A and B are shown apart, each in its own frame.
Chain A
Amino acid sequence: MRHRRLYVIGAWLLLVAVASVVATRARYTADLSAFLPTAPTAAQRFLVQQLRDGLASRLILIDVEGADVSVRATLSRGLAARLRTQPAFRSVLNGEAGGSGNDRSFLFEHRYLLSEQVTAGRFAVPGLTAAISEGIDLLASPIGMLAKQLFTHDPTGESLQVLAQLEQSTTAPESLDGVWVSRDHHRTLLIAGTMASGSDADAQARAIDAIRAAFKAAQRDAGGTAAAAVLRLTGPGVFAAEARATITHEVVRLTVVSSLLIATLLLLVYRSIPLLLFGMLPVVSGALAGIAAVALRFGVVHGVTLGFGVTLIGEAVDYSIYLFIQARHGTGRNAEHVHWTRTLWPTIRLGMLTSICGFASLLPSGFPGLAQLGLYSITGLLAAGLVTRFVIPELMRSDLAPVTVMPIGRIFSRVLIPLRGMRRWLWLVAVLAVLVLYVQRERLWNHELAALSPVSAAAQQLDGDLRAELGAPDVRSMVVLAGDDEQAVLRAAESLAATLDTLVARGVIAGYQTPSRYLPSVATQLARQASLPARDELLQRLAAAVATLPVRLDRLQPFLDDVARARTAAPLLPKDLSVTSLAAGLDALLVRQSGHWYALLPLQASRAGAATIDVDRVAQAVRGTGTPGVEAVVLDLKRESDALYAGYLNEALRLSLIGFAAIILLLAVSLRSLTQLARVIAPLVLAVLAVLLGFALAGRALNILHLIGLLLVIAVGSNYALFFARQLPDDDAGQSVRMLSSLAVANLSTVIAFGVLAFSTVPVLSALGTTVAPGALLALLFAAVLSRGAMPAPGVR
C-alpha cells in the first residue's frame, strides 16, 4: 500500500513536470486564422494563404487627425521619412512622389519595351505621322514647355503612355500639400506595407510600436500644434496584434476572476484551505496536460484554447466536489475510499466518458481551432478525472475533517419540491422551442466568418472608412492565374486583359490591376522590339512622316539613338524593377508560393453599381480565355471565406450530432435500460432546446462556438443527470442530501466560470459563456425535476 502510494504520486508529479516543461516551451498564437479552416481545394488554400500572408494582410492604414492640414502634412512627411529607413517596412506611401526620380528614369529608359502602343503599325510612316502630330499638340498644351524636353527623345510620346498605363493601376486619394488626405480633408492618410505577414502578430506588434514611436518623433520635430494631432492605425496586422493583446488580457483576467470566485465558493463550502487546494489539483493538472497535448500535436497553442482553460475549471472542479461532499464519513481512510471507488467513481467516470465522447467529435474538424479545443478538453478532463480518482485519495490524509454542507442540499431540495410539481408542463418547453426554432430556422445560424472576429464594431468602421478613402487596397474580388512558371502566368495575364477590357467597357467592372502593366512578359517585350525598325529604315520613315509636319528632322537624332538602343536591349525581368518603387506593385500582384506562380488581377467594382461585382459574369467571361498550363479562378474573398466557414459550420454540426449519438450509445451500453437512458437524456435535450429557444427569442444568431457550448452543456449536464438517475436506496436520505449538495456546488461553480466568460469582449469566449452558464443551470434543474427518486424532506439529515 505504501509502495502504491509512492508510485502513484511519483508518476503524477513526473507527468505534471513534463507537461509544465512542454507548456512553458510551447508557442502561443492568437491569430484568428486558426479558426480559418484548412482549405480543401488549391484555390481555397491560396485564398486562406492570401488572407493570412497576402499583400492585403501586410497593409497598415494610418490616419492622422487633429491639428491643421499643413501641420498634418509635415507630420505625414516626417513619419514616412522615418519609416522608410526601417527594414521592417517594405513600402510607405503617403502621396509624396518618393523615389519617383528613379521610377521616371526607369520608365523613360525602357519605354519601348513597356508601352502597349509599340506595334509595327505605329512605326510605319502613317503611324509615325499620327503619333508625332499628337506630340506637337502636346507641345502646344499647357505642359508643352516641359514636354519639349522629352520631344527630341520621344516624339511619339511612349513615356507618357507608360505613365498613363501605371496610372490605371492606382487609384490614389486626393492630395493636399502633396500628401494624401480624406475627401473631407479632416484626415491625413498613409499606407505602410510591412515585410512580415499580417498573421505574424509579434512582427505586427513591433511594426505598430515603430509607427507610434516615429509619429511621436515627427510630432516633436514639428513642434507647435503638432502635439494635438492624433494617430490611428488599422488593418489586418493591427487587428491581429490587438486581438492577441485582447485575448491574452481577457484570458488572464477571466481566469483570475473565475478562479477567485470559485475558490471563495469552495472555501465557504469546505471551510478548509487544504481541501480547497486538493480540489484545485485536478483542474491545474488537467489544464497543464491539455496545453501540453495541444502543443505536442499542433505545434502552436491558440489563445482561445487557453481561454477554454477557464471552462475546464467549470467541469474538472466538479469531480473533486463530488468526491469531497458525497464521500461518506467513514471510520477511517479505507472505508471512505471503498465507498468512493465502488459507488461514486463509476458515475463520475461515466459522466467523464460522456464528455470525452462529445469532445472527441471535434477532433476530426477541419478547423484547427476546434480540433485544438477538442484535444485540450479530452486530455484535460481525462487528466482531471484520473487525478481525482487515483492521486487525491492517496494524497489526502485520513484525519481531514469531513465536509458537511447539508444546508445547501436542504435549500436545493426545498426549491425543487414545488418545481417537481410542474414536471408535467415541461414538454411545453420542448414543443415551444421546436416551434420557434423551426420558424426561425433560416436565421438561426450566422454564416459569416466575421461573427468570430474579436475586432470591435468601431474598429471595423474605422477600417472600412479608411479603405474607402484610400481606394484600391481592399482586394475583395480578383482573378487568380496559377501556373508553373512566371512567364506563363504573365502571358496569361496579358491575354486576359483583353477580356477584362470588354468587361470594363460593358460596365461590369470599373477597372482592374494586372502585373503585366508593371512588367510585360518576355514574349511581349520581344514582339515590341521586333516591331521597331532598324536605324536607317527608321530615318527614312521618319523623314517621310514629318515631311508634312513643322518638325525639324535634324533635331530628332536622340530619338533615332534611343530606338536603336531599345532594339538590342535585354528584356526586362522582375529583378530589374527592384531599383524602383514599382517592385512593390509587382510583388503584390505576381506571387510565388510553394513552387507555383500566381498572378493576381484585383477587380474594381463598377462605380455606377453597388460595391459588389457580379463575380459570376466575370467568371463566365474568364472561362472563355484559357491559356494552356495556367488555371484561372475568379475569387470573391468574402463570399469564398463565408462559404468555407458555412461549410465548416455544417461539418461541426454533423460532428456534434455524431458526438451526441456516441454519447447516447455509451449511456445505453452502460445503463442497460431504455428508461434509465431516457431519464438521463431528456433533461439534457430539454436544456439544449431551452438555451436555443432563448437565443432565438433574443434574436441572437448562433456561431460555431455556441455549438461547442451546447456540447459542453451535454457534457456537464450528463454528470447531473447520471447522479439523479442513479438508484439510491430509499432509506439513505443522508446520502441523497449529500448528492444534492454536491450537485448544487458543482453547478454553482460551473455557472460562475461560464458566467464570467459571458462578459468577455472576445465574441468566441462570450458565445461559450452565454451558452453554457444558463445551459448548465437548466440541465441541473431539469434533471432534478424529472428524477424519479424520492426527494429528501427538508428536515432530514
Chain B
Amino acid sequence: MTPCDFIALMPLLMLAAGSVLCLLIGVVKPGRYLYAASTIIVILALIWSCAIPAGAVLPGISITPFSRFSSAFLYGTGIIALLLASSYNSRCGIVGEEYPATFLFALTGMGVACAATDLLMLFLGLETFTFAFYILVAIKRDSDSGGEAGLKYLLNGTLSAAILAMGMALIYASAGTLKLAELVQGNSSQEPLFLAGGCLILLGMAFKLSLVPAHLWTADVYQGATAPMTALLSTASKGASLVALLHLLPLFGNWSGLHDIFWLLAVFSMLAGNLAALVQKNLKRMLAWSSIGQMGYVALALVATPAGGVRAAVFYLVVYAVAGMAAFGVIAALSDKDECAAIEAYRGLGFRSPLAGVVLAVAMFSLAGIPPTAGFMGKFVVFTAALRGGEAALALVGILAALIAVFFYLRIVVVLYMKPAEAQSEPVRTLDDSEMASLLLPMVIMILLGVYPQPLLELLEKILS
C-alpha cells in the first residue's frame, strides 16, 4: 500500500479506528462526550473525502470521485443523525459507548460499499452497515416496539442477505470471477445461471431499498426504531444501497429484462407506498410508507438508465434523503421520553414550535415535490429522464401517484398549522443548539437545491461519467 492509497483510504480508517476507540475508551470513561467525539470524526471523514482528491486502486476497493462523494454524502447524513441522537438518547435513557461505536461502524460499512469493486467487498460493506443497524434499531432495551422492530429487521435482513449471497454465488459459478470489471467485460451476462444470480441480487437490493414486493419490513422497523435511527435508516442506508445497486447495474449489460423488472418495481412501489401512506395515523409509519413510494421514483429513474436515469436516480435520492432527514429529525427533536409520533400530536405545532413546524412543513412540501423546494427538482429530473427514455405510461402513473402523495403530505401541514392544539396538550420541549443546527441545515439545503440545483447536477454529471 503506497502512501497515496493510505491517504485515500483515510476516511474509512478514521471511522473504523474511531469505532474501536469508542468502545475501548468508553469502558474507562463513559459519557456523552463520546457522541461529540464521534461527530467530529465523521466531520473529519466528510471533509477529507470531499477535499482531498486522492484516488486509490486496491484489491476489492477503489477510491474514485464517485465513491468519495457518495460516501461524503452518507457521512453528512450520519453527522446530522448523530447530532440528533446525542440529546435524544440521553433523554430516553440510552447510555453507553456502544451506540456511537456501532454508529461509526455502520458508516464504515457504507464507505466500503461505496468503494467496492468486487462482489465480495460489496457484500461485506452492505452487510456491515445492515448488521450495525440490527443493533441500533433494537438498542432501546426497555421498548417493546424497538425489540419487535429489531427482530423483524433481523429476520428479514438475514433472509435478504442470504438471497444476495446466493445470487453472488450463482454469478461466481457462472463467470468464475467476483471482480465487477471482469464480470462486465466477460460478456456472460445472457447466460441463464448468471441472470438467475443477477435477479437474486436485485431482489436482495430491493429489500435494502424497500421496493415492493420486498418492502413489508419498512413500516414496522421505522416505527419501532428510535427516531434518529429511523432518520439514518431511511436516508443513509437507502443511499448506500443505491450506490451499491449502481455498481451492480453494468453486470446486466443490455439485458432487456432489467427494464421490465425496474418497471414493475417502480409501478408497485409508487402505488402501494403512496396508497398505504394515505391511511396511516402515525407519522413515522406514514413516512415509512411514503419512503417506499419515493423509492419507486428512484426505480422509475432507473428504468430509463440509458436516458440519463442514473444521474436522475442519484439526484432524487439525495433530495429525498435531505427531506427525510429533516422530517425524522423533527420527530427526534420533539420527542421527550416517549416518542411524539401520532399525527394528531402535531396539532398546532407550527405555532407552538415555529422552527420545528417550518422544517417539517418544508420537508413535507419537498417530499410532495412542490417548488421552490428540492423535491420538485427531483421529480423534474426523474420525469425528464423517464420521458426521454420513452416511458410515458410510467411517468403518468408516477404523476398520479404524486398527486396521491400531495394529499397525505399536505395533511401533515394542515395538522401543523390549521388545526388548533388541544387544550391539555403538553408544552413542546425547547430545542438545544445542536438540534436546531441539525434541523436548519437540511431545510436550507432543501431550499437551495430547489432554487439552484445546478452545482449538484454538474457534480453528479462529472463523477458519474
Chains A and B form a bound pair = no
Residues of B within 8 A of A (CB): none
